[in-house]
Amino acid sequence: MSHDPTVNAGDIARLAGVGRAAVSNWRRRHDDFPQPIGGTANQPLFSLRQVESWLRRYGKSYQVSLGDRVWQRLKAAGDLRLGELVAQAGALLTRAATSTTGGPGGAPDDAARLPAGPAPATGGSGPEGDGLDELVRGLGELDRELAGLVLELGAELGPQAAYEFLCERYLEAHSRRLSVTREDVAGLMVRLVSAGGGETLLDPACGVGTLLLSPARPAKVLGQELSETSAAITAARLRLRGVEARVVAGDSMRADGFAGERADAVVCDPPFNERAWGYEELTGDPRWEYGLPPRGEPELAWVQHCLTHVRPRGLVAILMPPAAASRRPGRRIRANLLRAGALRAVVALPGSDLWLLRRPAAGERPPSEVLILDATADLSVVEPAWQAYLEDRSDQTVRIIDLLADEVDMTPARHQRHDDVGRAFAEARDRFLAAAAVPPDLKVLEQPLDQPATTLGDLIKEGLVTTSQAPARMAADGGEIPVLTPDDVLNGRPPSGRTAMQQGLVLIRPGDVVASYSAVRVMEDGGGAALGPHLTLYRVDSRRLDPDFLAGFLRAAGGRVTTGSSRFDVRRTRLPRLSLKEQKAYGEAFRQLAVLEDAIRETSSLGQTLIRLGLDGLADGHLHPQS
């Protein structure tokens, strides 16, 4: 493989601690700035060594963390081989972690000591010699030098955190090719099907493992994925968490890896609109208990595949395209699912529908109603509504006999209670207007201020900032202590996780700065919550340092300020040396920008709801234009 790693403009900005605009300015103003050696006109790639040389020549401060060096070496192989190398890095970290825990059954711990590199080119003994050769045997794409760097990263961060860092970068690099279920939706799906207990969870289209990695999962998981690379990545991610897992590669439709097996629950985010799903070969397949799926309705094949693999009374949560609730070719199968009592709920989510199914037991009487719910504006309504339905006290159900007498159209918008449309529109409009925010009033300067600067590392040495991280392993279920997750930080919501009291928990206080891979937030209220995995907490001496001031410059530096990006990168974040009064002025401007960002996110969701309610209300006569 190539030994000349490449970087894009975003990578250069992150390494130098500047914005992408600064990199663009360097390219325009300096004739000797390195020329692209690959990529495209819109996404050029540069030689990392040439960029480092240029930065040194011009006295630009930069730091290439160990994580970044490993990632750039992996990327140097090119897009076609990148996934394979990431998968092999996971296999290497898994082997090394397993070897430190006393055998193949050992559960790796983030604190496990791994053999460190980089490895010498030849000979040697111990981890860098014979031990490394043993670990990389069979991983032909991973050369010894790169393998040593991967192990060194695992020794620095812990094997699980190191691999999650590489997976995060891989998903970012291939965000247009890889379909990844939203974390909040994945957690919701697993909680819904796991509420009744059970030991085994299956995902027959597991991708890179998002659904199977949910903290609410049971003890044992099964997964199948068409892509061998994605299946290997999933297996490594699960194994590094100590999860008992069996993941196979192959086409679930044509080559079912779990034929004849039934799990306690099934979750699935299948590929939508995949016409080549095997209609011709599978016409007589015994899985089609509720009818042969039409050629253009592959999602109904996935629904029946999932039901085949769940035990009687077991639950299935599957994401479906919204059109699947009403398309005419699938009418007969939807009707059969309803008659048998298999389809229990259709819930509208942003961009997709969630179908909840229950495999009927022999002789069981089917229900007379189905839950149909619109949760596009607020996912938190789903679990209470589902629980109310299970307890036969829901007011959001539709009679199955009415659906069967019509077009079997289960589109949630169609079954919105019409007497509520006008009220819901008015409430959504008020919330939309209330969520609006304005940007801060900032003065435009002709030339940037030349201010004395310091770094986060210096502030830590001076005692102005202390840093904390969560324990390497936390109890995922059964606790009463709320846990702040990276997704909570990103979306500005209250802690959504739970854990039990244990040694080393970091409890959050008001004014703490909490950072994830992609977000930084100043906590207004600790609420007794604990810091979750993959987060870093920065606690300031408020007599000398403003937390909003610190948070703003961390965000400006790129927002990648967790262990996954290496503490050395973070500590080189530059801040101007200012009086506390001046810091507070900066901090207020940064805070207003954070409020604006949250408002934009909220108004985007509310706007879609407002439009849908307005269309429905105008169409059915419950809303009228102002005269």
Helix (H, G, I), strand (E, B) or coil at 415: helix
Q: Could you check whether the bond before residue 118 is cis, i.e. omega within 30 degrees of 0? A: yes
Q: What is the pLDDT of residue 121?
A: 34
- DSSP string of 454-473? EEHHHHHHTTSEEEEE--SS
Instruction: Give CA 331 to chain center in angstroms.
Output: 34
Task: List, in sequence order, every residue forming a beta bridge with 268; answer none if it has no partner.
Answer: 318
pTM, 2 dp: 0.65
Over range 296-321, report the average pLDDT. Answer: 96
In contact, 45 and 7? CB cutoff 8 Å: yes
pLDDT for 118 beyond 50? no
Question: CATH 3.30.360.10: does it fit domain 1-57?
Answer: no
Q: What is the pLDDT of residue 449?
A: 81
Residue 135 confidence class, pLDDT cut points 50, 70, 90 = low
Which two structure tokens, joined as six digits, stand for 218?
């049971």
Q: What is the pLDDT of residue 472?
A: 67
Q: What is the pLDDT of residue 486?
A: 85
Q: What is the pLDDT of residue 406?
A: 80
Residue 583 confidence class, pLDDT cut points 50, 70, 90 = very high
Question: CATH 3.40.50.150: does it fit domain 183-415?
Answer: yes
Domain at 453-577: CATH code: 3.90.220.20
- Burial of 2 (C-beta count, 10 Å sphere; 0-12/13-18/19+): exposed
Q: What is the pLDDT of residue 101?
A: 52
Instruction: Give CA 86 to chain center in angstroms.
Output: 17
Say which residue, 440 or 575, is predicted with more confidence.
Answer: 575
Residue 126 confidence class, pLDDT cut points 50, 70, 90 = very low
- pLDDT for 251-275, tens place per residue? 999 999 999 999 999 999 999 888 8
Phi, psi dihedral angles at 391 (to 5 degrees): -90, 10
| Residue ranges covered by each domain of the chain | 1-57, 63-177, 183-415, 453-577
- pLDDT for 269-302, tens place per residue? 999 888 889 999 999 999 999 999 999 999 999 9
Task: List, in sequence order, every residue forming a beta bridge with 466; answer none if it has no partner.
Answer: 539
Q: How far is CA 446 from CA 18, 277, 443, 449, 621, in A?
A: 19, 60, 10, 9, 56
- pLDDT for 488-527, tens place per residue? 888 788 888 888 887 788 999 999 999 987 789 999 876 6
- pLDDT for 219-259, tens place per residue? 899 999 999 999 999 999 999 998 989 999 999 999 999 99
The dihedral formed by the CA atoms of 206, 240, 500 and 390, expressed in degrees to the nearest 10: 10
- Burial of 288 (C-beta count, 10 Å sphere; 0-12/13-18/19+): middle
pLDDT for 356 beyond 90? yes
pLDDT for 112 beyond 60? no
Lowest mean pLDDT among 2-6, 112-116, 343-347, 473-477: 112-116
E-state strands within 301-455? 310-320, 343-349, 352-358, 369-374, 397-399, 453-455
DSSP for residue 562 = S
Instruction: Give CA 612 to chain center in angstroms.
Output: 27
Q: What is the pLDDT of residue 223?
A: 97
Same fold, 1-57 and 453-577: no
- pLDDT for 11-59, tens place per residue? 888 778 777 788 888 998 899 999 998 878 877 888 888 988 898 888 8
Query: What whole-number distance in Å separates Cα of residue 78 and Cα of residue 1?
Result: 9
